Amino acid sequence: MMRVALIHQPYRPETAESAGQTGAWLDSRGIGQALLSAFELERHDPSRFDLALSFGGDGTTLRTARWAIRAGVAIVPVGMGTLSFLAELAPTELADGLSPYLAGDFWRDERAMLRVELGDEVKPAVLDGESASGPAPRPPSPLLALNDVVVARGAALRAVSIDLAVHEHYVTRFTADGLVVATATGSTAYALAAGGPVMAPDLRTIAIVPIAGHLSALESLILPESAQIRLTVARSQP
């Protein structure tokens, strides 16, 4: 029997309501389903599911992507956020729009992701733009990212110097408020706001974009997805 994960944003009750209504609709058609919080996905095995619906904004979709990729589960984002740039369906389209997915009549839009390993000295911040009180818990390594990874200056009111190496060969030093490493999917997010280029979402490329760069030889850099990138903070920051 087909099983569908219904993933909602726990701080937005309307997403749980819409996911619950979709679950009842699936039950009436003999399709297995489970309602999951986007903040508790690590408690669940993605291989138990054939399809995942994310109810919320792009942050919920990004969390779902990191979880679902472990088992190659297809994601259908249901746009209920402020922007929902990655949304595939609106809540009002679910009744008719879900049928092709449940019948297997769809094509996969496969996107590149970043695989990130953190050094022991790294102080992690927050994921997906969420606020945090106190020190952030250290995420598991390696970390997967659909949009981007950001190295930032933290609370310090000064620029940070970041050395870039590709395949262990030194390339340049960026002095900036931070550095965005973005996939083609993420090129229209923070990287674009920082002045980076827009890349077609099916490109297998990586953009490296400084945030408010100062006297840098490069405004941005485009690399192939095979590039092994090492970022080292050259000036210690609190």
Q: Supply the DSSP symbol for 198.
A: P
**Alpha carbons 198 and 236: distance in angstroms, whole number:** 32
- Cα(102)–Cα(25) distance, integer angstroms: 12
This prediction's pTM = 0.82
Instruction: Point out the catalytic residue in the list 27, 45, 58, 105.
Output: 58
Structure tokens at 104: 């297997």
Helix (H, G, I), strand (E, B) or coil at 47: helix
In the residue annotation, 58 being an active-site residue is answered as yes
Q: Please write the tens of the pLDDT for every residue from 73-125.
A: 999 999 998 888 899 999 999 989 999 999 989 888 889 999 999 887 666 66
pLDDT of residue 132: 43
Confidence of residue 238 (pLDDT cuts 50, 70, 90): very low
Here the tokens at position 11 are 């701080």
Least confident of 30-34, 86-90, 138-142, 146-150: 138-142
What are the phi and psi torsion angles at 24 (to 5°)? -65, -40
- Cα–Cα distances in angstroms (integers) from residue 144 to residues 11, 64, 112, 127, in the given order: 23, 11, 10, 11
Strand partners, 170: 165
pLDDT for residue 1: 80
Is 90 exceeded by the pLDDT of residue 164? Answer: yes
Predicted confidence (pLDDT) at residue 237 exceeds the cutoff of 60: no
175 — alpha (psi -120 to 50), left (phi > 0) or beta?
A: beta
- Per the prediction, the chain carries an average pLDDT of 89
Q: What is the mean pLDDT of residues 160-182?
A: 94
DSSP-H helix ranges across 40-187 = 58-68, 94-97, 99-102
pLDDT at 125: 61
Q: What average pLDDT score do residues 53-82 get?
A: 94
Query: In 3-state terms, what secondary structure has residue 235?
Result: coil
CB burial string 11-42: b at 16+ within 10 A, e below: ebeebbebbeebbeebeeeebebeebbbeebe
All structural domains of the chain, each given as residue ranges with its CATH number in brackets, are 3-102 (3.40.50.10330), 114-233 (2.60.200.30)
